[in-house]
Structure 1
Amino acid sequence: MKKNRVKRMFIGSSILILALFFIPFTKCLIISPVEEQSFTYIPIQPNEVFRIEYTHSIHLSQVEEWYAARNHKIELFKMVYEDTSIGMPSKGDEGTSFRITEEGKYEISNMNRFFSSFHLRIGQVKANHLLHIKEETIPFREIYHEGTLVEIKVDTLSLWQLWRGVNFHV
């Protein structure tokens, strides 16, 4: 009788430990190639801000897109750029704030655009996409090859998923 109780406790504890292994609990910024099953992750805090900086392909000036992790969504809340030519707005949409900074750059804030994920093709020539997060700067080409189409999203990962992915330490 005592053996059965110990056996049941062992089995119950084992099931509980296994279940905890698969329960998502770590919020991460996830970068994954669209055509592959692999992924890279960076643990983040709720509402943590990160930005993507790149050189615009046509007018070859710097663009910064500011994002925040909001629950399981990504909010684009600000853009800073140097030129309003092809592909860049010359004013903000309704509800946004548009200004010219002291450095002469254009800034649109209060954008409040939410995405469950978005795609980014890592620049092959001049774009030099950079991820700024946790006071670190990470060139996207150090994560995946230039030309790779990646999906960027925020999600909560389990221990199992964390072990499967590649932690880009920052």
Structure 2
Amino acid sequence: MMSTLSGAHYLLIITFSIIFILTSVAVYGGTHYAVFQVKDFFSGEVVFEKLVRIGTNFTLAYIHSVTNQPVYEVFTVEDNHTLAMVEMRYDSFGANLPVGPEKLADETTRFIVEDGYYKILYENRRFEKVPLRVGQVVADHTLIFPDGTRLRFLDVVDGGAYVEFYVMPLLDRIRERGHRG
């Protein structure tokens, strides 16, 4: 028969083990993952949310309104507060599409032709939030993630809506959910 002292001892070990495991998961998740959100700017409503690993690339795909050809903007989740645009590619020139390297305030882009695309490579194009006016007619803005998840903006907001997409720390999102009950 187990004594009360040894039962209390086992309970203490189990409690500390659970605390250790939960803390480890929180620290690992907090440093390796972020929560990606799309928010309707005017209503403040989060219309899409996804857990993403820091370092993950995803693509904003849309149809250019002048050329009617696809444009792909590739972003990476740089940390749990920052998205970075790393590449833009398209197969024909059109309004507001670069025709060569650009000298910007914080960087000079690289312009290459590869695999049938014109590619602009960025090294210092960082965003806390990426603003987007959702196309009404042609654009069909769609986010594409490596796991196959696709978000067609017109499925969650009306054409012409102003949205922002961004990442936030996983632990902040957990705390936020906890406060809402």
What is the match of residue 32 of structure 1?
A: 39
SS in 2 for 1:141: helix
What is the match of residue 153 of structure 1?
A: 166
> What is the CA distance between 1:82 and its match in structure 2?
1.8
Q: Distance in 2 between matches of 1:121 and 1:162?
A: 28
Q: Distance in 1 between matches of 2:156 and 2:176?
A: 18
What's the TM-score, normalizing by structure 1?
Answer: 0.74
What is the match of residue 89 of structure 2?
A: 80
Which has the larger helix fraction? 2
Give 2:54's match in structure 1, choosing from 46, 71, 80.
46
In 1, are the aligned partners of 2:82 and 2:126 still within 8 Å (CA)?
A: yes
1:131–1:37 Cα change, 3 Å: same
Q: Which moved more, 1:65-74 or 1:134-143?
A: 134-143
User: How do 1:68-147 and structure 2 match up within 5 A?
Assistant: 68-71=76-79, 72-94=81-103, 95-103=108-116, 105-133=117-145, 134-147=147-160
What is the match of residue 6 of structure 2?
A: none
SS in 2 for 1:89: coil
In 1, are the aligned partners of 2:41 and 2:164 still within 8 Å (CA)?
A: yes
What is the match of residue 8 of structure 2?
A: none
In 1, are the aligned partners of 2:36 and 2:167 still within 8 Å (CA)?
A: yes
RMSD: 2.4
Aligned structure 1 segments of 4 or more residues deviating by more than 3 angstroms? 160-165
Q: Distance in 1 between matches of 2:159 and 2:178?
A: 25
Please give the per-residue CA displacement for 1:78-119, whole angstroms capped at 9, x wherever unaligned. Answer: 00012223211001225433211232x201124430011121
What is the match of residue 6 of structure 1?
A: none
Any gaps of 5 or more consecutive residues in structure 2?
1-22, 24-28
Q: Distance in 2 between matches of 1:140 and 1:164?
A: 28
Q: Which moved more, 1:123-132 or 1:155-164?
A: 155-164
What is the identity percentage for the equivalent residue pairs of Structure 1 and Structure 2? 21
> What is the CA distance between 1:126 and its match in structure 2?
0.6
Q: Distance in 2 between matches of 1:142 and 1:113?
A: 28
SS in 2 for 1:159: helix
The answer to which structure, 1 or 2, has the higher relative contact order (CA under 8 A, 6+ apart) is: 1
Any gaps of 5 or more consecutive residues in structure 1?
1-19, 166-170
SS in 2 for 1:44: strand
